Amino acid sequence: MRSVNERRGILVRSASRRVEVYDACTLKCVAHQRRCKATRTSSNNDDPPIGTTVSFAPRFDPFAVPALRPLTRKSRIAVAAPASAALDPSHAAAGLEALRKRGLTVETVRSLSLRPQGYLAGDDEARASEMNDLFARDDIDAIFCLRGGYGTLRILEKLDYDALKANPKLVVGYSDITALQLAIYAETGVPSLSGPMVAPDWPKIDETSEHQFWTMAKGKAPIEIIGPYAETLIGMKGGSAEGVLLGGNLTMICSLVGTPYLPDLTGAILFVEDVGEQPYQVDRHFARLKLAGVLEKLGGLVTGAFTHAKPPKGRPSLSLDEVLTHYAQFVRGPVARGLVYGHFADKCTLPIGVKASLEVNDAMSSLKVIDPITRDA
């Protein structure tokens, strides 16, 4: 295992190159603006568009997905808490019991009923060490996250991504875990599942949602993503796109902008959801993605649920639909809403880091996973 400093040294050198290129592009864009004002002539083809975001060069083929063992009810898994602890120790115990009832062999590295440190499930070193121990093991098929909450961002630079790349396995979770899953993909190309977590979901997961989870985890593809009750997407902007499916919690995605842990989203199909964010906050998040040049790079966009998002009564506000419609115009490819995905019980499981397609037309709107997330050896 390379030390954090050695690994960060590589990132710093990469970051330096990116900053140098970005600064050069910025200067060229400023010069380009000045030339346009002075001469009203078109820009040189070598000049990048104003507002271009320069990304790290991919360190892997985005479609060469590492081979992950299919996840079944006979698999060996580990439960970890890289973010917050369970709101009550009984919730953790119920989640572990629910998983074992499915036939899974379930392990833990540390006690999940330890007293939390504020909103964290232990200090940064303990949470990072737990993940690194599991990354290095070749005898487990997946890491199920106990809960989201807060704190994943604090450990990203402490993780041994090389160990996970050498021993690839699924990481299952959503919400705050989005930061971990996107960082893993950015660093290694290893895909993950944005799916049910141990404490809040597995004790009460409905049959249809669970079936869809296992279908995805076993590696079935191609598969169309539809809701547990056959809900389909609602088109907002027509078109068709094919690219890597990436996404998760909108707040966490925006938190990674400007860091080495946000994957290159050029041509990607991005899916998003959030909780407790009022329309003006969702607006702010999308504005940041627009200003960073992210929205215009996307192949397509799919929005899930924004729960607990109503503004206080009596306060002027845009609606969420108005906010989403406004930012849909900046995505060059298709845009759809109505994905049954978010902070509620009955929802879809979505892969992060595999090839997918999005098609939106007058007759239908469809998100399909093309490549399997796991494969038989």
pLDDT of the residue at 20: 28
Active-site hit among 91, 277, 343, 365:
343
Active site residue 175: yes
Q: With respect to CATH, is domain 223-369 assigned 3.50.30.60? A: yes
Residues of the chain with pLDDT under 50: 1-58
Active site residue 90: no
Q: Of 271, 104, 82, which is closest to residue 164 (Cα–Cα)? A: 82
Active-site hit among 130, 187, 210, 273:
273
pLDDT of the residue at 2: 47
pLDDT of the residue at 42: 33
Phi, psi dihedral angles at 251 (to 5 degrees): -60, -40
pLDDT of the residue at 63: 56
pLDDT of the residue at 312: 85
Active site residue 296: no
Region 76-206: CATH code: 3.40.50.10740
pLDDT of the residue at 377: 54
Active-site hit among 55, 129, 175, 209:
175
pLDDT of the residue at 49: 39
pLDDT of the residue at 65: 57
Alpha-carbon distance values, 225 to 212, 216, 370 (Å)? 9, 10, 11
- The 3-class SS string of the chain reads CCCHHHHHHHHHHHHHHHHHHHHHHHHHHHHHHHHHHHHCCCCCCCCCCCCCCCCCCCCCCCCCCCCCCCCCCCCEEEEECCCCCCCCHHHHHHHHHHHHHCCCEEEECCCCCCCCECCECCCHHHHHHHHHHHHHCCCCCEEEECCCCCCHHHHHHHCCHHHHHHCCCEEEECCCHHHHHHHHHHHHCCCEEECCCCCCCHHHCCHHHHHHHHHHHCCCCCEECCCCCCCCCEEEECEEEEEEEEEEEHHHHHHHCCCCCCCCCCCCEEEEEEECCCHHHHHHHHHHHHHCCCHHHCCEEEEEEEECCCCCCCCCCCCHHHHHHHHHCCCCCCEEECCCCCCCCCCCCEEECEEEEEEECCCCEEEEECCCCCCCC
pLDDT of the residue at 46: 41
pLDDT of the residue at 15: 32
Torsion of CA 284, 290, 294, 299, to 10 degrees: 110
Domain boundaries, the chain: 1-54, 76-206, 223-369
